[in-house]
Amino acid sequence: MKKQKITTKMLVTLAMLLALEIVLSRFLSIQTPVTRIGFGFVPLVIAGILFGPIPASIVAVLSDVLGALLFPTSGAYYPPLTITSFLVGLTYGLFLYKATFDPKKVKDWLRVVLTVAVRQGVWALLLQSYWLSLLYGNTYKQTVTMRIPQVLLLSAVEIVVIPILIKAAGMIKKSVNL
């Protein structure tokens, strides 16, 4: 990847995506003891598409830390969960950076499905469940089992929403001249 020049527009856009992620995750999502269901992934996907893996990872980490410290929803800040946030931002950036989407192309659908499989299957189901089992004292198997319905639901949502976000990010990039 070519080194990106950091511009004021880029920083302002990333800051807005950071704030949007906190609002969507902390205030406009459904929180249960072991999971959060919402659209907090949308700003991270857009950051990944527009700016790549490192900026998307930074937005993910900062939104996790700031969101947990400013608006705790389920107890104290738990640093291992931030590792998952970093990996989620990295995944969106690696798989979706500068992506275009044509619904007729199988490779575009494969990119989306692979992104969601890594994000939901590996990071949310396997790794996040591990951290949550340590945090709440449940067995890993119990935690994974409880989280399967959420992962399946959010996987379906992401497979539908990510192509729309790829199209929208393209329009944003053109109109804002990023």
Q: Which two tokens stand for residue 1?
A: 């990847």
pLDDT number for residue 9: 92
Residues of the chain with pLDDT under 50: none
| CA-to-CA separations, 7 to 34, 53, 93, 170, in angstroms, rounded | 38, 17, 18, 18
Q: Dihedral of the CA atoms 5, 172, 25, 80 (nearest 10)? A: -30
Give the model's pLDDT for residue 29: 84
Q: Is the dihedral of CA 173, 20, 155, 52 positive or negative?
A: positive
Domain boundaries, the chain: 8-176
Q: Which residues pair with 30 in a beta bridge?
A: 37
Helices (H) and strands (E) in the chain, counts: 7, 2
CB 29 within 8 A of CB 40: yes
| Single-letter code of the amino acid located at 19 | A
Q: Which fold has domain 8-176?
A: Arp2/3 complex 21 kDa subunit ARPC3 (1.10.1760)
Burial of 87-124, coded b for 16+ CB within 10 Å and e otherwise, reads bbbbbbbbbbbebebeeeeeebeebbeebbebbbeebb
Q: Return the pLDDT at 73.
A: 73
Q: Is 172 helix (H, G, I), strand (E, B) or coil?
A: helix
pTM: 0.93
- In whole angstroms, give the CA distance from residue 95 to residue 115: 6
